[in-house]
Amino acid sequence: MDRTNNSNHDVPFSYVSLPIGPHEDEAPVESRGKWKARPVVFCGLLVLVSLVAFNGYKGSNGNITTLTSNEDLKQKTIPSHKWKPVSRGVSAGVSEKSNRLFTKSNNIGGMLFPWNNTMLAWQRTAFHFQPEENWMNDPNGPLYYKGWYHFFYQYNPNGAFWGDIVWGHAVSRDLIHWIHLPLAMVADEWYDQNGVWTGSATILPNGDIIMLYTGATDALVQVQNLAYPADLSDPLLIDWIKYPKNPVLVPPPEIEVYDFRDPTTAWLTSQGKWRISIGSKMNKTGIALVYDTKDFKTFERIEGILHAVPKTGMWECVDFFPVSTKLDIGLDTSARGDDVKYVMKVSLDDDRHDYYALGTYDENGVDFVPDDTNKDVGTGLRYDYGVFYASKTFYDQSKERRVLWSWIGESDSEDADVAKGWASLMGIPRTIVFDKKTGSNLLQWPVEEVERLRMKRCKFHNEKVMPGSVVLLNIGSASQLDIEAEFNIDKKDIEKIKQTNEEYNCETSGGAANRGALGPFGLLVLADEGLSEYTPIYFYVVKGSNGNLKTSFCSDQSRSSLATDVDKSIFGSTVPVLEGEKLSLRILVDHSIVESFAQGGRTCVTSRVYPTTAIYENAQLFLFNNATEATVTASLNVWHMNSAFINDKQVKLKS
């Protein structure tokens, strides 16, 4: 790759240096001897060469790259004002995290990072769903029918930005290998002239397929429309018919005409009617409206609302479904029973995050009651703590599982999106089940079919990583990986450290450069050998005041790229770790997307990463431990991932 930029970049990038890279302005490590990071781990069947790192050890046979000592790091504290997004001034109650707005810096960088086509081309993913070009957003109407998984999506056929929205369509046998089909629906009626927006599918017991979707009318009113396949004997469901008497639902009088969108999949009530929900808001209270229907053509507004939470703003992409509290399978959307809990999920327009709550559902009272009112819809748990929005589940009856689709937007500049000609990805579909062990959250996990892309495996067993060390894992090029790892902190280290009242928050922590006694440690993905760019995915453990351990799981983009026009946030959250559990993670690395899962999917973080150097054969994988006290033992399986060749197959109709 073009590395010429490295040699003349004396650009002082404003992040704390973790290992020393090619930065001349920092405290020299000459006193420690010139060190190199060398590949020392052999993959495959060979037993790992155990790397012994003594604190401060450095030698010409330097087996490890040692991190700078604590004293050196202190010198590199970064003024916090350089990291905060620009305040919106008096706009109170707004989350600063909700939108990326870089600080108006005083010429910190000097050099504008020159993106070239090679760097931009690398960003396309190998096995994540994306159209050949242009903009995509919300997943729509996912369903399984006659042996095929169907996926529809919000699409702009005219550019790499939102607008002119129509429904794209693709099919797959396995949720991983996709074939693009012609557009399913375009804006050709007065009732969707200004946008064929998000909707959901309902499969009726007799095999009929109902699609309800939001249209923006010629008068700019948001309405709900009915569509259905033109030919149910066509398993590819290529052609769709819009019900001639659309719209089937218009905004009720107390709702604004632009706060009425994203109808859910329907579920059967005990009266034999179909029930749907549509998100909206009244002032700043997010609400879910309820309608019943027998034929999806005429609807009855049900008095009251399914749920409401003040100060959450507009509820988009409402999803409402049952989960089994006993079995590790998905349930049909109409399921009910004693061993069933309900999940209410919303996408908050205000902060572009997806939230969910577990609770009970009273059909007669039309009421969803969260199990924990402190973790209500929109105020509690999120599906994913990174870039992840407008998600939607469907029941896959062929494998009895509930599958979650999610829209993963870009975190780079529009300039780059226009240059590369596309914007947005879908996350790898995830199964959703109730976490029986904690009883208070869901578990998400990439669908098993993604494992069919696994090729060569590199296995590392009981790799001891001393405090302050970084280990290059010699697995070859690291842009397409599936990683499963387990970490164990030495019990002695846990026992000897003091208890603390520290509350760790990934987002404000300053990332993997800030050392604690028991963290951070984990993996550096999309890292170049010189560590000028890297993305730590890590655990950070705190020993609380009652001796209990509290664990956070984070994805740190602050050093992910030398470019200055990409988002460098740190994402993550706490993750429940039960007695006796090891710390475990899974990471899917696929070029510019990294999806990370902790403790079997209790806490998930998706990020977008845009390196300029750590690309193609220069992308590497490291183990790291930047804790001050804890010695960590890591075992991992790392698979190289094949491409799913998604954009090689298209079906175009002859006009």
Partner 1 sequence: MTMLKPLAFLILIVCTTFVVTECRTIQPNDANLIQQTCKKTPNYALCIQYLNSDPKAPSADVTGLALIMVNVMKNKANIAINKIHQLIGKSPPDQKATLNSCASKYNAIVVADIPSAIEALQKGNPKFAEQGANDAANEANSCENGFSGKSPLTAENNAMHDVSVITSAIVRLLL
Residue 368 near residue 359, CB atoms below 8 Å: yes
If the CB atoms of residues 160 and 237 are measured against partner 1, the closer one turns out to be 160
Q: Whole-number minimum distance, CB 314 to partner 1, in Å? A: 7
Q: b/e map of 296-332 (b: 16 or more CB within 10 Å)? A: beebeebeebbbbbeebbbbbbbbbbbbbbeeeebbe
Q: Whole-number minimum distance, CB 391 to partner 1, in Å? A: 16
DSSP state of 352: T
Q: Whole-number minimum distance, CB 300 to partner 1, in Å? A: 25
If the CB atoms of residues 190 and 258 are measured against partner 1, the closer one turns out to be 258
Which tokens hold the place of 494? 């846990």
Q: What are the distances in angstroms from CA 399 to CA 147, 330, 448, 449?
A: 11, 9, 11, 12
Q: Whole-number minimum distance, CB 112 to partner 1, in Å? A: 3
Which residues of the shown chain bind partner 1 in the complex (CB under 8 A)? Answer: 86-91, 94, 99-102, 104-105, 107-112, 114, 159-164, 194-195, 216, 220, 222, 256-259, 313-314, 349-350, 352, 413-415, 417-419, 564-565
Catalytic residue among 138, 259, 350, 412: 138
If the CB atoms of residues 40 and 250 are measured against partner 1, the closer one turns out to be 250
Q: What is the Cα–Cα distance from 613 to 190, expressed in whole angstroms?
A: 49
Q: Whole-number minimum distance, CB 156 to partner 1, in Å? A: 9
Annotation marks residue 218 as catalytic:
no
Q: Whole-number minimum distance, CB 197 to partner 1, in Å? A: 8
If the CB atoms of residues 135 and 394 are measured against partner 1, the closer one turns out to be 135
Q: What is the Cα–Cα distance from 98 to 114, expressed in whole angstroms?
A: 27
Q: What is the Cα–Cα distance from 556 to 571, expressed in whole angstroms?
A: 6
Q: What is the Cα–Cα distance from 304 to 290, expressed in whole angstroms?
A: 8
Residue 140 near residue 152, CB atoms below 8 Å: yes
Q: Whole-number minimum distance, CB 426 to partner 1, in Å? A: 18
310 preceded by a cis bond (ω within 30 of 0)? no
Q: Whole-number minimum distance, CB 13 to partner 1, in Å? A: 12
Count the residues in the chain: 655
Q: Reduced to 3 states, what is the DSSP secondary structure of residue 420? A: helix
290 strand-pairing partners = 277
DSSP codes of every residue in 456-524: EEEEEEEEEE-TTEEEEE--S--SEEEEEEEEEE-HHHHHHSPP------GGGS-GGGS-BTEEEEEEE
If the CB atoms of residues 160 and 470 are measured against partner 1, the closer one turns out to be 160
Q: Whole-number minimum distance, CB 423 to partner 1, in Å? A: 9
Query: Positive or negative, the Cα torsion across 29, 31, 36, 37?
Result: negative
Euclidean distance between the first and the last CA atom of the chain, given in angstroms as a whole number:
43
Least Cα distance to 137 among 446, 447, 405 occurs for: 405
If the CB atoms of residues 265 and 411 are measured against partner 1, the closer one turns out to be 411
- Please enumerate, as own/partner, the contacts of 242-247 that have beta carbons within 8 Å and a separation of 24 or more: 242/185, 242/189, 242/192, 243/297, 245/297, 246/189, 246/191, 246/192, 246/215, 247/191, 247/215, 247/217, 247/223
Which tokens hold the place of 166? 């129509």
Torsion of CA 595, 599, 600, 603, to 10 degrees: -50
Q: What is the Cα–Cα distance from 416 to 117, expressed in whole angstroms?
A: 10
If the CB atoms of residues 259 and 482 are measured against partner 1, the closer one turns out to be 259
Q: What is the Cα–Cα distance from 184 to 180, expressed in whole angstroms?
A: 11
Q: Whole-number minimum distance, CB 409 to partner 1, in Å? A: 8
Q: Whole-number minimum distance, CB 151 to partner 1, in Å? A: 22
Strand 422-423 with 134-145, pairing:
parallel
Q: What is the Cα–Cα distance from 592 to 611, expressed in whole angstroms?
A: 8
Specify the residue for token string 């977008």: 608
If the CB atoms of residues 194 and 334 are measured against partner 1, the closer one turns out to be 194
Residue 582 near residue 486, CB atoms below 8 Å: yes
Other CB atoms within 10 A of residue 44 CB? 9
DSSP state of 309: E
If the CB atoms of residues 415 and 617 are measured against partner 1, the closer one turns out to be 415
Phi-psi region of 262 (alpha: psi -120 to 50; beta: other; left: phi over 0): left
Q: What is the Cα–Cα distance from 306 to 315, expressed in whole angstroms?
A: 12
Q: What is the Cα–Cα distance from 602 to 586, expressed in whole angstroms?
A: 11
Q: Whole-number minimum distance, CB 378 to partner 1, in Å? A: 13
If the CB atoms of residues 52 and 111 are measured against partner 1, the closer one turns out to be 111
If the CB atoms of residues 282 and 419 are measured against partner 1, the closer one turns out to be 419
If the CB atoms of residues 54 and 258 are measured against partner 1, the closer one turns out to be 258
Least Cα distance to 401 among 370, 345, 443, 459 occurs for: 443
* Residues recognised as catalytic: 138
